[in-house]
Chains A and B, each alone.
Chain A
Amino acid sequence: MITSRPGGTPGARRLRDALAGSAVPLLFALLCVFGILVAHIGPGFLLRELLARLARNAVLVTSLLIPILAGLGLNFGIVLGAMAGQIAAILVTYWHIGGIAGFALACAIAAPLAVLFGIGTGALFNRSKGREMVTGLIAAFFANGLYQLLLLFAVGSLIPWHDKSMLLPQGFGLRNTVDLWGIQYALDDLIKVSVPVEGSAVRIPLVTIVFIALVCAFNLFFQRTRLGQELRAMGQDPHVAATAGIRVDRNRMIATVLSTLFAAWGQLFFLQNLGTLNTYSSHTDTGTFSVAALMVSGATVSRATVAQALVGTLLFHTLFVVSPLAGKALAGNAQIGEYFRVFVAYAVIAVALVLHAWQTGRKRR
């Protein structure tokens, strides 16, 4: 009897494993290409959008890597970091400090706030081992309440605020949008570079890309440090790590703080490109979209690399740009495309979580 089992030879098996590992990004790439063809999207438009979106989101997505290394899973608590970044952006706008100085100051102000928020989140994670992800998600919602309390009620009433134009007509509480005129493109346009594509100029945010590269390099370097190795050991087996003398709780705290800190800076990168802050909603999707971008690359809840963060950002945001246009071209309704991309974001995370729980469950048995 002839049995043709796939993956008989080692070479074929390796090929199959490689294909299985990159099935998700390949599927996404196909979906994106299909959308681009259907909607007749030109390279100039696509390049401009993608460069802007990569510059906006890459740091946020990479901020998820360290907690994954430490075995904490997907840190939905990066929303707290984003809040720290937003508070800093609001302050520099209030003080009328613009340009690169304003942006640097915002980063400096965001840092201690993010460290503080990270310590809080880390303490919560240490009390809820085994369910850090749902704790992070709920912590983000809870923090959103406190954030509203601060900016919607305390500012202008308990906290003196002299710039009345930033306040709501009632005299307290910040307006729903803050125009970040001072720091818009502060980093992107520090060195102005543009390349003509199809007759129109495409801005290249050179300095931002350099900083993204630095953050990536830091992540790669970090994994080789002693702390990075300890986190990796914890990620593989926290019990063995603890018996080996690794201070698990302290290291988990450090991983959370670092993640929150990078998220704060990441949100500032995001805001300086966008130029406007939706005071009460800019941060709400940060967690979901960053996590979804990472998962699109084929990364898992327990394993993710720097390259995956970048590839995931590119793929996910291609889909984000393409989806409404493809929806319009296919069904005559851009709304469908918009619902579709939100659905994809949630579904990708759901599938990643299911696969993770499925595999760990099988390993346990």
Chain B
Amino acid sequence: MADAATVPDPERAPRGRALRDAVREIGLPRILIAFFLLVLFGVGFATHMDLAGLATDSLLRIARNGILVLALLPAVQGGVGLNFGLPLGIICGLVGCVITLDLGLGGWLGLALSTLAGVVLAVPAGIGYGWLLNRTRGQEMMVGTYVGFAAVSGMSIFWVVAPFHNPQLVWAIAGQGLRTTLTVTGVWDRQLDSLGAFTVGGVGIPTGSLAMFALACALVGIFFRTRAGLTITAARSNPRFARAAGISDERTRIQATTLSTVLAAVGIVVYCQSFGFVQLYTAPLYMAFPAVACLLIGGGAVDRATLTHVIVGTVLFQSILTVALPVTSQVVRGDFSETARLIIQNGMILYALTRRSER
């Protein structure tokens, strides 16, 4: 069976095969999604919409969500699968944000300290989570999902009782309990986005956040070329061989999970400064799912993902999410974008889960 596919047949070189191979190479879902995006932009163009505005918003959202998608990469590389436990790291980042907001630290200092605090919290959280995932092999995705859900709902109690007293943050009447959304206006709102931002042909470029995303991608890329990173990948692809070489895949899986959790903490801080709000309580509950969908739309799989998948997926999916609402509202009345997001996002995850392993 494998021979037929690999041995070229010079007699009847079928023209269709080249096309089929190309489709297989890029992946049918990615082609469909890209086509859908093109159609959306086409409709936008035909109905004389503000295309530059749409592009600006798309870029903003790509920069905003990029690191959260990137956070999934180490987990896949480490053999843990799709990290649905992303909210764990997100919560660490949120706690970091709340701490600096409570202290009233603004600007670069506040943003840097939020990130630092988030990372400091995410390291032990990630190690513990990695340890748990080592003991629940084969069910990492399910365990991750529900550990994430439990963490988010448990933290809801923390947000109510936590000893924060800054009147900007707590409910005005009760004097206790953090509000559901904290605004960062005038504190570190758009701190990264506006760094070196410029406009080209009406399209605003959030240089700082994009650069941050690029930097994070580069760092992760470099890390996976270092000895430590290669060890993680090696242990994933062949645990027995790795063990013979003196590498414990339990250790590398914990490292991968921790890196994923830390990146999620950094990612949410970048997200919050761009979004302008810190959303607490149930807001992080479902944040892993769009990120996972991004990675999969980019061409990643449960057991294989690259930086290209992260970037392509984020660009495609976030652009669709941005463009879908204003464009479809021209054609269909009502907010169609949320429904479309549910279908595309979860359809994509379902496709990846039910795809028969190619090996």
Binding site for B on A (CB under 8 A): 124, 127-128, 130-131, 133-135, 137-139, 141-142, 144-146, 148-149, 152-153, 170, 172-173, 331, 333, 335-336, 339-340, 342-343, 345-347, 349-350, 353-354, 356-358, 360-361
List B contacts of A170 (CB < 8 A). Answer: 333-334
Nearest Cβ on chain A to B73's Cβ, whole angstroms: 19
Please give 11 more A-B residue pairs, beta carbons under 8 A apart, in addition to A135-B350, A357-B143: A131-B139, A145-B340, A145-B341, A145-B347, A149-B343, A152-B334, A339-B157, A346-B150, A349-B146, A354-B136, A361-B135
Given known pairs A170-B333, A340-B157, the reply for A142 and B350 (CB within 8 Å) is: yes
What CA separation (Å) do A6 and B156 show in the bound complex? 40
Q: Chain B contact residues: over half helix, strand or loop, or mixed?
A: helix
Pick the contact of B146: A144, A146, A340, A353 (CB < 8 A).
Answer: A353
A131–B136 CB distance below 8 A: no
Most chain B beta carbons < 10 A, residue from A128, A133, A339: A339
Residue of A with least CB distance to B141: A134
Given known pairs A133-B142, A350-B150, the reply for A336 and B342 (CB within 8 Å) is: no
Q: Chain A contact residues: over half helix, strand or loop, or mixed?
A: helix
Given known pairs A354-B143, A357-B139, A361-B135, the reply for A127 and B156 (CB within 8 Å) is: no
Residue of A with least CB distance to B349: A138
B141–A350 CB distance below 8 A: no
Within 8 A of A (CB), among B322-359: 332-334, 336, 338-343, 345-347, 349-350, 353-356
List A contacts of B145 (CB < 8 A). Answer: 134, 137
Residue of B with least CB distance to A356: B139
Q: How many residues of B contact A (CB 8 A)?
A: 43
B334–A134 CB distance below 8 A: no
What CA separation (Å) do A134 and B145 show in the bound complex? 8
B150–A343 CB distance below 8 A: yes
What CA separation (Å) do A142 and B353 show in the bound complex? 13
List A contacts of B132 (CB < 8 A). Answer: 354
What CA separation (Å) do A61 and B214 show in the bound complex? 48
Given known pairs A124-B354, A142-B347, the reply for A343 and B153 (CB within 8 Å) is: yes
Pick the contact of B339: A135, A149, A172 (CB < 8 A).
Answer: A149
Pick 14 A–B contacts, CB within 8 A, sort by A.
A127-B355, A131-B353, A134-B84, A134-B141, A135-B353, A135-B354, A139-B350, A144-B342, A145-B340, A335-B177, A343-B157, A345-B153, A346-B146, A350-B149
Residue of A with least CB distance to B339: A148
Most chain B beta carbons < 10 A, residue from A127, A134, A146: A134
Nearest Cβ on chain A to B100's Cβ, whole angstroms: 24
| B240 part of interface (Cβ distance < 8 Å) | no
